[in-house]
Structure 1
Amino acid sequence: MTVKEVSSFLNVHPKTVYKWTEERKIPFIRVNGLIRFKKKQIEDLNNHRDFSFSEQAFLQSKFMIPLPEYDKMLLKGRSALSSRSSKRWYYGFGKVYTRKTKQGKIRYYIEYTGRDGRRKREVVRKAQTRSEAVLVLQKKAAESFDSEHSNPRPKEISFQEFSTLYLENYSKINKKSWKCDDYALNAHLIPYFGQFKLNDITPLLIERYRAERLETGVKKSSTNRELALLKKMFNLAIDWDYVRDNPVKKVKLFSEKDNLKERVLSQKEEIRLLEETADHLSPIVLTALNTGMRRNEILNLTWVHVQLKQRIIHVTKTKSGKNRVVPINDVVYEILKEKQKHSKSEYVFVNPETGKPFKSIRHSFENACRRAGIKNLRFHDLRHTFACRMIEKGCDIETLRDLLGHHSITVTQRYIHTTLDRKRQAVELLSAQNGADLSHICHMDERETKDRSSIPLFTVN
């Protein structure tokens, strides 16, 4: 038998037959590469297969009340929507509709909402009348409701066991920063939640964990990152049928509006910093100040992505995964040109001691800042400094967004910082514009004061 013959015999769509063959739910053979079926096996399957919600037995039942009366009670809107090839009846819990097959037969379908909140559309096999289709719709809707509210017991698993599943099956596959998840789990979350079952972790327990973390001096933003990780893990646990609810959704994160670090390197600080940086660090610092590239983007930069003739850098290994092009100015051009003369590696910035790319420049950067007397400066602040200087030179925010590689201008706005001097200059502009008028008003006040002083307070007749 062919696929078409089997679909007609079983009263299903041919795509369903193909799906069953892929899932090995129906016996088949291949003849010259084509899918074929043995008639005896298909007949046995049809005689013994278990229809969804036991349709064969269920369709033998009858309405307790006549269908017209049932329609009057529950049918919504117009009695039926009709077209040449189909009819539809809308009830409060779903709908029944018909379609004509190529052979001209009427086939009944039902549509309802499953326990996952998604619409389900299914053909009602063996249904010959609308009454039978409505009966199937009733039972399917009831089963969906019961399964949603019966609260079946999810699979038991401890937080420590699920952490391993999360790291191996999601974090390492989908996140570049999976090592941050690994550290947060092993250093903080597993020691506290590790022995608890996922279903035993409550919002109160999470609040207690956060309170203990804050007592140790941890910043609120750090606890927000940990709870964000915890929230993602529980969302996956719901998808993987380990829990039904996410307790982290009931815990409000701390506001971080006041935690934005506004640190911009001044021109004087830049001079002192460059005087104290090591020879291998100075080109990296200057590149950051003149391109706005992130630290890892600079350290992982290869010559393949540098085009000195066109004066552009193709940034590929980005935080957002979105490639971008950064123009090269004169300062960066001279740095790269000098580096290329002596380069023997595919990487632009190489550790002179190992001949390999730098893994970290944190200590050397902090030591340079300490020697230069610069406090509270992170390497990432060089990116902020680039953004601020670009705005001061008249760069529009959309161009700056493209240079920084942001998806949204809202993110770019966080990088724009206005110095106190620029604020003072802006206020003085208003003063200069209205200076004459203000002066005139001040002189009028003085004259009025003199005039009032010449008027006697009392008159004597």
Structure 2
Amino acid sequence: MAAINKYTDSKGLTSYRVRVRLKGQPVQSATFKRLTDAKKWAQQTEAAIREGRYFNKSVSQKRTLSELIDRYIERVMPQKKVSTQVPQKSQLEWWKGEIGALSLASVDSSRIADCRDKLTDEGRSPATANRYMAVLSHCMSYAQRDLQWIERNPCHDVRKGKESRGVVRFLSNDEIGEDGKVLVKGERTRLLEVCKASTCKLLYPAVLLAMSTGMRRGEQFSLTWRQVDTHTGRILLEDTKNGERRVVVATGPALAELKGMAKVRRIDCDLVFPGQRNTAIHLNKPWYAALKAAEIEDFRWHDLRHSFASELAMSGATLAEIAEAMGHKTLNMVKRYAHLTEGHISSVVERMTSRVFGGDS
């Protein structure tokens, strides 16, 4: 039931204090200048509590976005993979710097949209802006479902930026003449030659392995020797992007490099590619130096993975086979390589036509 008490202060101003008490529920209270507003609030609040849809907005007015982000980093972030924590913490710190001082009640869809636009205005891609939006949305969902600090996630009302399908950048192969000799060295050959001559002894095997297996950077540089079977070339990947274990196979030169590395591996560190302090090695400096020496432009480490997938496609692998080799659960992510499989599809259709109808088509 609701109780309304009238108060008059020393200046003669009147106010009405409302308290709504229902069995098994906390007392809700508010103060109004007009009796009609007090009665209206009491009626609406009592009905909302009975129907299980009441939210105390005073909580969202007292808590700031910075408080929420700090709580999220402390309680939720440690449950995520380390490779995920690093970029998301940085993104959340950006949000704190922009609108962290605001109360959660003030962080509405329009403010979030303004921040989204600022990200792109500063030169970040729509895809990157969407990643910033996603981690904030996770934060807001935590505030809504676990903490009950907000009634609704405002990020759900903000439009995401349109992401490009992405450009498939892969290394070019050698140009071969009719006599079988190399006319022009392709990017692949040039890059491997430069990496092999690098003073960083781990650069060549790292590039070769990425090129030969399609492993993600995080998967490769967290790799330990207990995950590698140098006899069969089987590599068990445990810390994958989709959270599932998968197996890749190193063959040929990549397997030979692994066998050679295993013979002289460090006994104080189980990492396949260790740095100086028993952590994964950072190859940025020798990697960029190699790209420059090999005269290769607009190429990232991740593009070695694209090169692996592209070579699979041009070697006749189906999209399903490419997805399995890349560790994708669906075919959506490998449709970008579909145009490279057209020759293979054509030959399959030709073989079917010949078998069904006989002779040449």
TM-score (norm. length: structure 2): 0.72
Deviates more, 1:305-314 or 1:229-238: 305-314
**Matching of residue 272 in structure 1 with residue 190 in structure 2:** yes
1:382 Cα offset (Å): 0.7
- What are the within-5 Å matches in structure 2 for residues 19-418 of structure 1? 145-148=50-53, 152-155=57-60, 156-176=62-82, 177-186=84-93, 188-239=94-145, 240-256=147-163, 258-267=164-173, 268-277=186-195, 278=198, 279-345=201-267, 346-351=270-275, 354=276, 356-414=278-336, 416=337, 418=339
Deviates more, 1:305-314 or 1:381-390: 305-314
Distance 1:319 1:244, change over 3 A: same
Cα distance in 2 for partners of 1:174, 1:298 equals: 19
1:329 Cα offset (Å): 1.2
Higher relative contact order (CA 8 A, sep 6+): 2
**1:118-156 residue CA offsets vs partner (Å, 9 max, x unmatched):** xxxxxxxxxxxxxxxxxxxxxxx9665554157553352
Cα distance in 2 for partners of 1:157, 1:168 equals: 16
Between the two proteins, what is the percent identity of the paired residues? 25
Cα distance in 2 for partners of 1:143, 1:149 equals: 5
CA contact (8 A) 1:324 1:403 kept: no
Q: What is the match of residue 77 of structure 1?
A: none
1:213 Cα offset (Å): 2.5
Cα distance in 1 for partners of 2:255, 2:161 equals: 44
Distance 1:175 1:336, change over 3 A: closer
Cα distance in 1 for partners of 2:237, 2:80 equals: 20
1:160 Cα offset (Å): 1.0
1:417 Cα offset (Å): 6.1
Cα distance in 2 for partners of 1:378, 1:318 equals: 20
TM-score (norm. length: structure 1): 0.57
Q: What is the match of residue 5 of structure 1?
A: none
Distance 1:211 1:400, change over 3 A: closer
CA contact (8 A) 2:233 2:249 kept: yes
Cα distance in 2 for partners of 1:375, 1:207 equals: 35
**1:31-85 residue CA offsets vs partner (Å, 9 max, x unmatched):** xxxxxxxxxxxxxxxxxxx9869xxxxxxxxxxxxxxxxxxxxxxxxxxxxxxxx
CA contact (8 A) 1:273 1:372 kept: yes
Q: What is the match of residue 40 of structure 1?
A: none
- Equivalenced residues, count: 287
**1:87-114 residue CA offsets vs partner (Å, 9 max, x unmatched):** xxxxxxxxxxxxxxxxxxxxxxxxxxxx
3-state SS of 2:58 partner: coil
**1:237-286 residue CA offsets vs partner (Å, 9 max, x unmatched):** 11111110221111100111x25132111121011111222232011111
Instruction: Give the counterpart letter for 2:190 in structure 1.
Output: R
CA contact (8 A) 2:271 2:280 kept: no
Instruction: Give the counterpart letter for 1:348 in structure 2.
Output: V
1:331 Cα offset (Å): 1.7
Q: Pairwise CA RMSD of aligned residues?
A: 2.9
3-state SS of 1:349 partner: coil
| Unmatched 5+ stretches in structure 1 | 1-49, 54-140, 431-461
CA contact (8 A) 2:133 2:155 kept: yes
Instruction: Give the counterpart letter for 2:287 in structure 1.
Output: F
Distance 1:150 1:342, change over 3 A: closer
In our comparison, the structure showing a higher alpha carbon Rg is 1
1:401 Cα offset (Å): 2.2
3-state SS of 1:314 partner: strand
**1:401-451 residue CA offsets vs partner (Å, 9 max, x unmatched):** 22222222222334x2646xx879999xx9xxxxxxxxxxxxxxxxxxxxx
1:323 Cα offset (Å): 0.8
CA contact (8 A) 1:262 1:417 kept: no
Cα distance in 2 for partners of 1:296, 1:259 equals: 22
Distance 1:396 1:231, change over 3 A: same
Instruction: Give the counterpart letter for 2:192 in structure 1.
Output: L
CA contact (8 A) 2:228 2:234 kept: yes
3-state SS of 2:105 partner: helix
Cα distance in 2 for partners of 1:413, 1:285 equals: 25
CA contact (8 A) 1:154 1:244 kept: no
Cα distance in 2 for partners of 1:147, 1:323 equals: 43
3-state SS of 2:248 partner: strand
Instruction: Give the counterpart letter for 2:138 in structure 1.
Output: K
Instruction: Give the counterpart letter for 1:254 in structure 2.
Output: G
